[in-house]
Amino acid sequence: MTLSEQLKIGFIQTVVEGSVAWQKPHLHRMCSYSEEKAWYEIRKGFIELVNGYDKPNIIVIPELSVPLGYQHELRRLCASSGAVVIAGLDFICVKDKICNRAVVITPRNWPSFDKSTSTSFFHFGKMFYSYEEVEMFGVNNLLTQPEIFILDAAEFGKIGVAICSDFFDVERFVVYKGRIHHLIIISHNKDTESYYFLAEAIARLVFCNVIICNTGEFGDSIGFAPYKDTFRRMIYRHKGKDLFSTQVISLPVNKLDEEQVSGVKNVVFKSRPPGYKKVK
């Protein structure tokens, strides 16, 4: 299959304030105010992205952004947009344990931008929970989900996905190394500088593009590519606290794929990391 020149990623950086959204005695579910605000911003984001000049192939929404009960509406927005949606869902109780997970929704006609009448979807979860989540629920009340997924996006390449603190999982990168073109992280993370430096490190070590869609409460959503030229590497970075935003960026696909092959001289991108071997 001939790969596309670029993959267009659309960010919807919602602002979900943790101290407001999850309060006792209902820690496992957003309060009604946060639900209404989050869903308003998600709908607004879709309107801006779909009606913009550059339509995204994939739309990403931060961790813990989609309120419970809105997944059906989210699938309807996805079908109308023509874009795959990767979105973080509010906490949900599964088998008497609290689960932090995300959904990947694909319109039937994708990658065409034509409206679809149906979608398919699946969920993936979080393995390593944050200190705040452990404090909220207790370590024994959290459902760990160790599965590692690689999405086959056809002409747009292979994509790895993870939720927030799973970004620090070294074993995950061993699996992804040589197998993916893009790594997408959705997060609700206040340690934004650490994620920025890790994005550059992983882009080099896994030799792929790195996307971080962080909550607008803390900001710093990022798009990074392992270009040789320093000024090209940071494709996008949106800093600032409590800022809702939308943005579409382009990530390289076919050129990166060509230079991931052993023996090929790296012209556009940095040199392949030691021991790198592309897996078909």
The two structure tokens encoding residue 276: 């790198």
**What does the CA dihedral 105, 108, 113, 116 come to, rounded to 10 degrees?**
-100
Taking the mean position of all CA atoms in its chain, how far away is CA 189? 13
What span, in angstroms and rounded, lies between the C-alpha atoms of 166 and 162?
A: 6
The pLDDT, as a whole number, for residue 27 is 83
My answer on whether omega of the bond before 56 falls inside 30° of 0, hence cis, is no
Give the 3-state secondary structure of residue 183.
strand
The pLDDT, as a whole number, for residue 220 is 95
Cα R_g (the chain), whole angstroms: 18
What span, in angstroms and rounded, lies between the C-alpha atoms of 223 and 211?
A: 5
The pLDDT, as a whole number, for residue 140 is 93
**What does the CA dihedral 212, 218, 220, 221 come to, rounded to 10 degrees?**
30
| C-beta of residue 3 within 8 angstroms of C-beta of residue 157 | yes
| C-beta of residue 255 within 8 angstroms of C-beta of residue 229 | no
Would you list the DSSP string of 260-278?
A: TSTT---SSBPPPPTT---
Burial of 49 (0-12, 13-18, 19+ CB in 10 A): buried
The two structure tokens encoding residue 179: 């197998």
The pLDDT, as a whole number, for residue 90 is 97
Percent of the chain that is helix, strand, coil (3-state, to 5):
30, 30, 40
The two structure tokens encoding residue 201: 């490190």
The pLDDT, as a whole number, for residue 28 is 84
The pLDDT, as a whole number, for residue 24 is 84
Residue-level pLDDT, tens digit, the chain, 280 residues: 799 999 999 999 999 999 899 988 888 899 999 999 999 999 999 999 999 888 999 999 999 999 999 999 999 999 999 999 999 999 999 888 999 999 999 999 999 999 999 999 999 999 999 999 999 999 999 999 999 999 999 999 999 999 999 999 989 999 999 999 999 999 999 999 999 999 999 999 999 999 999 999 999 999 999 999 999 999 999 999 999 999 999 999 999 999 998 778 889 999 999 989 998 7
Residues 6+ apart with CB under 8 A from 119: 75, 78, 79, 105, 106, 107, 108
